[in-house]
Structure 1
């Protein structure tokens, strides 16, 4: 089959929609490079609760930008766009079509449309704000941001530790607020983009989410979180531990909630994530939307 040269494929969908399976089916049809667009799959040692493709699948169908940092290390949308653009460049050099597959809408948006040009983080500044987060907590840091940059504070959720600390760090480094700097944008992707959205009916997604989480519990998810808890650098305000499922399991292992509450809360949180992702995806233009991973329709769309 023939796809227009230097085309980038965005394969998007809410959690549990079957994106990985469709990406693999496409990989069997033409030379591709699979690039993960997922803010949870980046973390090493977080395999079961993130529904990461298993080791055998990753060996046969490598996904780039999976397992690239430790759970205590910060990783921003800026980091992602830089890494993703590097992978896209490699794909084109090798005669492959890059398929960006995942559910993190902020990453897709940043890559397509560009991000504000902000000062680079340094290891020292990241450590400084990680320490502040641990010492003061996310609510107090959000309050600090309200004083410095009310516009950003209003836009950023009070529990979003990563974006709050980044906004404070930007001000600390540049002496300018995030709101002031966000007018200057770096370029987005300059290549043609073909978008495929996998969107099963909501009742089916909800059923899959429940089945998948119960299966995670059976497959050792709590043991995985117990192992994470032995790392003294990890705490509940870090983006990694705020991932759905991990946050609730952490609370359960700290005896804050019982097992039944943990399971219910994790499933509800995953469904809420699914709803947010679906709302964003419905606003996408010029995309092929599929209820099932119909490879024939996908190939026909890509060849147009």
Structure 2
């Protein structure tokens, strides 16, 4: 790295099952990198199989930061990630090593790159209450409630956008201030002066990625994911309103253990939810005006990623 250039942060981003981890391990063979994991699920201890958490061997080969930093009963916000990742990137660079972001939680990247408005933290009790109300009344009824107190936010949300509706109502009920008020203040950057290189792993064939997702989830089931979820469910302090249990692939098996779905139904639902997650990730990435797109299904994906990194790092 040329010390006369602005500091650089490379991000390997992509949908689930796009090969981000394999690419990052290949980069570690060439440069002294440290990974800042950008994933809202691998932060949780005891949630290893269903999050495809890097193995002990992979973690021994290259430092991984922000893994296992929260108990499943706790929450972790995009704002917290932005502060933690910024501090890590600066520390890694000070030590003469190269920080690389790797993951698929796009809100985390948005918070780090653009800054994020400060919002109240998650409130599991309010979330659980909203889940129960939604089951009884439906999300469109809760959307109508939001429209009465915060019409600006409601206008940009679909009546069945459960995740965003829940967050907006959670903020209103918990703080007494609507989300549009909280968002009125402009976000503050957390890495001023840094350059960002976004390498986006995107599939040339959506059906092929879908097949990868199905195969990977079945492999997780074979590896003992149901037992992992069963152990979480045995804890009295965990419930479906928590961000950890809402993770794709976990909530569906929790519902199965609660008797609301057969195992086959839960697996089918989990795969469908994971595909929907991948679709949202791809849509977000393709909206970025500055990104380097790499076909994650190509056998030349890793060499191409390496070339892009070399041009940026060796400049």
Query: Per the shorter chain, which TM-score range?
Result: 0.7 to 0.9
SS at match of 1:293: helix
Distance verdict in 2 for CA 1:148–1:74, change over 3 Å: farther
- RMSD of aligned residue pairs (Cα, Å): 2.4
Match of 1:219 in 2: 223
Distance verdict in 2 for CA 1:30–1:166, change over 3 Å: farther
The question of 1:131 aligning with 2:125 is answered yes
Structure 1 stretches of at least 4 aligned residues deviating more than 6 Å after TM superposition: none
Instruction: Specify every segment of 5 or more residues in structure 1 that has no aligned partner in the other structure, as ranges.
Output: none
Equivalent positions of 1:184-223 (< 5 A) are 184-188=185-189, 189-190=191-192, 191-201=194-204, 202-223=206-227
Distance (Å, rounded) in 2 between the aligned partners of 1:80 and 1:165: 23
Which deviates more from structure 2 when the two are superposed, residues 289-298 or residues 153-162? 153-162
Match of 2:307 in 1: 297
Equivalent positions of 1:39-58 (< 5 A) are 39-58=40-59
Instruction: Pick from 256, 259, 272 the counterpart of residue 276 of structure 2.
Output: 272
Superposition TM-score, scaled by structure 2 size: 0.85
Distance (Å, rounded) in 2 between the aligned partners of 1:29 and 1:72: 38
SS at match of 1:137: helix
Number of residue-to-residue matches in the alignment? 294
Superposition TM-score, scaled by structure 1 size: 0.87
Distance verdict in 2 for CA 1:233–1:177, change over 3 Å: same
Deviation at 1:5, TM superposition (A): 5.3
Do 1:162 and 1:239's aligned partners in 2 also have CA atoms closer than 8 Å?
no
Deviation at 1:214, TM superposition (A): 0.7
Question: Which whole-Å deviations, capped at 9, do the CAs of 1:89-135 have from their partners, x for residues lacking one?
Answer: 111211122101100111111111111144x65xxxx6xx4233334
Distance (Å, rounded) in 2 between the aligned partners of 1:165 and 1:62: 39
Distance verdict in 2 for CA 1:73–1:259, change over 3 Å: same
Instruction: Specify every segment of 5 or more residues in structure 2 that has no aligned partner in the other structure, as ranges.
Output: 296-300
Match of 2:10 in 1: 9
Deviation at 1:153, TM superposition (A): 4.2
